[in-house]
Structure 1
Amino acid sequence: MNTKSYTIINPTGFHTRPARLFVDTANEQFPESTVTVIKGDKVINGKSLLHMLTLGVKYQEQVTLQISGGDEEEAQRVLGAFFEAIHNE
């Protein structure tokens, strides 16, 4: 299992557009990996848009990304970048 924490730098938080891109990328590029996102006491399936949106991640909040199975290091690098980017609105 590959685990890393990220601080959200997008001023509008992790809203629908980046969440959709994250989920699509997780499902398409890493189908054999389990993707889990943790915020506080919430633990969700990172391959579900509905679950991602229920986290309500805001600017400067911290999330933890856990990847298991498949190419864990590559998945962590690619998917973690979504949390460290500013997305076009």
Structure 2
Amino acid sequence: DKDLAAILTEFINYNLSPKFYLAENNSFRTIKIEDLAVQVKSKKFEYQIYNNLSDASLAAFENADKADLIVAAGSFNTVFEAGVEFMSNNIRGGENE
């Protein structure tokens, strides 16, 4: 989180135009979602806020082109849990084991 401004600036320096799918990280949070959105918006990047990580993951997946890179950022547990939930919803129709 502390390096977010520097990371966003690097995107600009390399003429990259990432889209951000933001979701609240309730298990471990060092930055509020509103503050994150303000930083992303200040650099004029596209973003959308979602209620949970699974919805954000699904939106990123559905909107991605075949060659797009999808990067998940957050604590390992949160990103891992969102991935498991996302895959469960897509493979078993939402039935988590």
Shared fold per TM-score greater than 0.5: no
Greater strand proportion = 1
Q: Which TM-score applies when normalising by structure 1?
A: 0.31
* Higher normalized contact order (CA 8 Å, seq sep 6+, divided by chain length): 1
Greater helix proportion = 2
